[in-house]
Structure 1
Amino acid sequence: MPGRARPGRGLPRQRHRHGPGRLHHRAAGARGRPAVHLPQLPDQRRAAAGRAADDLPRRRRRAEGDGRHAAPRARSRRAPGRHRQHPRAGRDVGLRPGAGRGRRDRGGGGHRAQPAPALRRRRPAAAVRPDGRGARPRRSAKDPTTTPIARKRGQHVNTHNGHLPGVEPGGLADLVAEIFTAVGLNPSDAEAVAHHLVEADLRGVDSHGVSRTAVYVHRIRRGLVTARPQRSVITQTPVSALLDAGNGPGIVAAEHAMRTAIAKAADTGVGMVSVRNSNHCGMLAHYTGMAAREGLVALATTSAPAAMAPWGAKDSYFGTNPISYAVPAPEGRPDIVFDMATSHVAKGKIILAGKNGQRIPLDWALDENGRPTGDPAAALAGSMLPVGGPKGSGLALLVEVFSALLSGAHYGPHIPPLYDNDDHPQGLGHFFLAMSPEVFLPADEFTARVGRLADEVAALPAAEGHERVYLPGEPEAERAEHRRAHGIPLSAEVRAELRAVAREAGVGAALTAVLDGSEPAAGAGEAAAAEGSPR
């Protein structure tokens, strides 16, 4: 493994390894290679690609399936022996996607093996983006948020209001992006945040959707989140990087980090990126899904303010400390994407229930006296319960290690809260892993095995009260398909909050009109889904 970075200096010289099973590279300071850069940010990619001369706003083109806004693909690796300079740590310095070295086979008895094939280029994943690109799920369904399985799993607090029509996703993304631009984010970062929040609502993760807009805007206005941060690379190796987010928006920093992990995985087979000095990064499934669309297995974790009592304790210490993984699925299937809080539910679901005037189940949280409560306000003043008792508590500790202790970020009770905190930045930490299946098996063999497993699970008889057996990511894919066709069911309370935030930001009525609700044109959801080939 590469040597440890020395304070104030670039990485030490690496050993040049040879022989079967070794991923080889040249040390920092190698001659003849210019410094290389991290994967481009959205605004840089658009500048490079050029801007279309149509009359739709960029965000609307994105929401209607403009392929220029798709996630970047993992590049092919170079042939063996073509090394490049390994850069010193510095601001926004990293590895280009796909500028890489060959990888030797693990077999061969000492003979030089042929380089591993480039990672297979994959189509966008199914039904996980506001733009509607990607494969159709295997079956269309009524909105699964109303099915017994979704309620049993606690996928989200129900925000349906039968008297309000759904909100069109593209127009909603335009509105939210304009709000963030108005409070100081550059347009590309504002668009990335808006895209992320609308994607969460499409997938039914309403607690991490546009209902977060108001608190994000408040913290930017108070100077607790830096609207235009200076990110930097603290240290890195061919397979890892530690990034400082510059106290910028967590969603932007996390996307940047996962793109870096994807680029390193395309180069070496594995990419690991840790982030510190960041903020709330939204829905982790977004980032693991980015990697799965490139054919990579992925893991993501993030720290959070203390809200959950460790098993056996009365007082909070751990955050809800979510964890997500994703596995690329064969063509024709949505990727397997799992995302959970290590608490019984995400704290955002309790916050959203309070906004909507709803009560919560008694097994979600304790009040400040340690008693189960159905009152969201009492739950927020008390502590949340770990999922599975000591098992969830143990997982929360693992997330704390990966996200905060390894990155040097704040942890547990040392993280200021997201809400009711007008004095201190949060200083959150995140962790992202992207790994090519080809470090173990050929990609096609791996995805075929994933497909067989999925078929066998789907063929199992459903238990009483369940319509079918789902794999992680399938309910969200079905829900996204439904909501693209019929609109996002925002509650009256969330719509009113968005109108107020937009008015304070000076956003005109033309964009807020989308909140009055009008279902997408007939066939819009089906046309959007058909635009991406089945996976």
Structure 2
Amino acid sequence: MPDADRVPVAQLSRFMAAALRKLGLPEGDASLVAQLMAEAEAQGSDGHGAIRLAPYARRIRAGGYNLKPDIRVVQEKPAMALLDGDNGFGHLVMHKAAQIAIEKAKQCGVAWVGARLSNHAGPASIYARMPLAHDMVGLYFAVGNANHLPPWGGLDMLLSTNPVAVAVPAGEEPPVVLDMATTVAAYGKVKAKAQRGEQMPEGWMIDRTGQPLTDPKRAAEGFLLPIGGYKGYGLALVIGLLAGTLNGAAMGRDVLDFNQDFRTTTNTGQAICVIDPAAFGDVTGFKARVDQVIRDMRGAERMPGVDRIWLPGEQSHEKRLRSERGGLVLPAALREQLDALGAELGLAPLGQH
């Protein structure tokens, strides 16, 4: 697209930071949240990036966030910690959780940090990837912020998309980064489809009679489908128990639909686990072996019509590089939404930041 239609990642981050400051976040917190949101947009996680700014603003205005939280450790042992997020932005809570887990893993070889009283924090891979800068493995788990999945064979919405992400460092190759919801599609993707006026593919959602649901604007009439049938339901359940129940956070009937209720505390639960490969041996050798596995996968014989075998995270990695070089292409409806919010807050349009 023409350069005029592209938005540099840093420009989007500055705009969102300015909006969050106007809404009452302290300057450092606003900058960090905006940076992580822009990073989500850059890697193609459009359901968790700039599209979330307006709902966050609505929640702030309704008093649903603590804008100056005391994010603190309330339980701790050498290889674990439990954070109380004090109803702050989930990005702030999980950024701190990742930092604590990395430092503990340096000492213990592995560390697990859970959080309660957090909030939506963006895509799971953002936090799983943080340990990569230290040549460590990151795993992230979360309870989603609205239930869109019934137990297998049921109709009561008792589970969310409950995502999991795993990031494994490599040597010369891009890291392996798996980021997935336990449903066929994350609900953020449904929102993005609705905003763009697009239909969902069959297989994302069904209505309460079991028929395919493809209009994202009718999403409330049905529910998301789990990956792998009953296996995805089971995975969503155990992730919810580890990220929610274990931390004293919301799970099951206690999960609040933050798409409908902008005032009540969500008590979102998340967890991050960090593994230091140095505890298992030579890190350089480990990364070289990961490289070989990647090349074996990519070089496998392909089925007819398949041009390339992708590794988890490769396409997001390439999108991130393209975004950093050439900027972001934001849907017209999203740019209008951002500029409208900016105007409400007395900010210049996005293109002038």
Q: Shared topology, TM-score over 0.5?
A: yes
For 1:495, the equivalent position in structure 2 comes to 335
Query: Cα 1:370–1:421, aligned 2, differ >3 Å: closer, same or farther?
Result: farther
Residue in structure 1 matched with residue 150 of structure 2 by the alignment? 309
Cα distance, 1:211–1:439 mapped onto 2, change above 3 Å:
same
SS across alignment from 2:28: helix
The match for 2:267 is 427
**2:162 corresponds to 1:321:** yes
3-state SS of 2:120 partner: coil
SS in 1 for 2:193: helix
SS in 2 for 1:207: coil
Deviation, structure 1 residue 513:
2.4
Q: How many residues align?
A: 352
> Contact 2:159 / 2:252 at 8 angstroms: preserved in 1?
yes
Report how far residue 162 of structure 1 moved: 8.8
Contact persistence 1:324–1:340 (CA under 8 A): yes
1:367 pairs with 2:207:
yes
1:513 matched to 2:334: no
SS, match of residue 306 in structure 2 = coil
| 2:129 counterpart SS class | helix
Which has the larger displacement, 321-330 or 289-298?
289-298
1:32-431, aligned counterparts within 5 Å?
165-304=5-144, 305-330=146-171, 332-431=172-271
Which residue type is aligned with residue 381 of structure 1?
Answer: E
Task: Tell me the alpha carbon deviations over residues 215-268 of structure 1, each in whole angstroms, 9 at most, x when there is no partner.
Answer: 111111111011111112111001000010000000110100011000100111
Q: Which has the higher helix share?
A: 2
Does the CA contact (< 8 Å) of 2:166 and 2:177 recur in 1? yes
Q: Does 1:475 align with 2:315?
A: yes
Contact 1:276 1:407 in 2 (8 A): yes
Residue identity in the other structure for 1:310: P
| Cα displacement string for residues 313-336 of structure 1 (whole angstroms, at most 9, x for unaligned residues) | 233211000000010111x22211
**C-alpha separation in 2, matches of 1:288 and 1:437:** 15
Give CA-to-partner distance per residue, 1:319-371, whole Å, 9 cap, x none: 000000010111x2221111000001100000111111111012101224442
TM-score for both structures, normalised by structure 2: 0.95
The alpha-carbon distance between structure 1 residues 391 and 514, as it changes in their structure 2 partners (threshold 3 A), is: farther
| In structure 1, C-alpha distance between the alignment counterparts of 2:70 and 2:255, rounded to whole Å | 21
Q: Is the 8 A contact 2:213 2:222 kept in 1?
A: no
CA contact (8 A) 1:168 1:514 kept: no
2:294 aligned partner = 454
Cα drift, residue 163 of structure 1 = 11
Distance 1:198 1:423 in 2: 25
Who wins on radius of gyration, i.e. which is larger?
Answer: 1
Q: Deviations over 1:256-300 (max 9, x none)?
A: 001100010011111110000010010111111111221111110
Structure 1 residues 514 and 459, CA gap change in structure 2 (3 angstroms): farther
C-alpha displacement of 1:398 = 1.6
Is the Cα contact below 8 Å between 1:365 and 1:385 reproduced in 2?
yes
3-state DSSP of counterpart to 1:337: strand
Paired residues of 2:203 and 2:225 also in contact (CA < 8 A)? yes
CA distance in 1, matches of 2:156, 2:3: 41
CA contact (8 A) 2:59 2:263 kept: no
- The CA deviation string for residues 440-470 of structure 1, in whole angstroms up to 9 with x for no partner, is 2321221121111112112113333432111
SS for the counterpart of 2:244 is helix
Shift of 1:397: 1.0
* Cα root mean square deviation, aligned: 1.7
Preserved contact between residue 315 and residue 383 of structure 1 (Cα < 8 Å)? no
Q: Which amino acid aligns with 1:401?
A: L
The corresponding residue for 1:97 is: none
The amino acid that maps onto 1:289 is R
After superposition, give the CA deviation of every residue in 1:478-506 in whole Å (9 maximum; x if it has no partner). 11222222221111110011011112222
- Gaps of at least 5 residues in structure 1 are 1-160, 516-535
SS in 2 for 1:206: coil
Q: Unpaired segments of 5 or more residues in structure 2?
A: none
Given residue 131 of structure 2, which amino acid in structure 1 is its aligned partner? A
Greater relative contact order structure (CA < 8 Å, 6+ sep): 2
Q: Which shifted more, 495-504 or 457-466?
A: 457-466
Per-residue Cα deviation, 1:411-452 (whole angstroms, up to 9, x for no partner): 123111121213412110001000111232321221121111
Question: What secondary structure is seen at the aligned counterpart in 1 of 2:247?
Answer: coil
CA separation of 1:421 and 1:328: change in aligned 2, threshold 3 A: same
Q: Determine the C-alpha separation between the residues in 2 that align with 1:273 and 1:497.
A: 36
1:80 alignment partner in structure 2: none
Identical counterparts, % of pairs: 33
- Pair 444,216 (structure 1): closer, same or farther in 2 beyond 3 Å: same
Provide the C-alpha distance between the structure 2 equivalents of 1:285 and 1:350, rounded to a whole number of angstroms.
19
What amino acid is the match of 1:267? Answer: Q
Aligned partner letter, 2:17: A
Distance 1:380 1:292, change over 3 A: farther
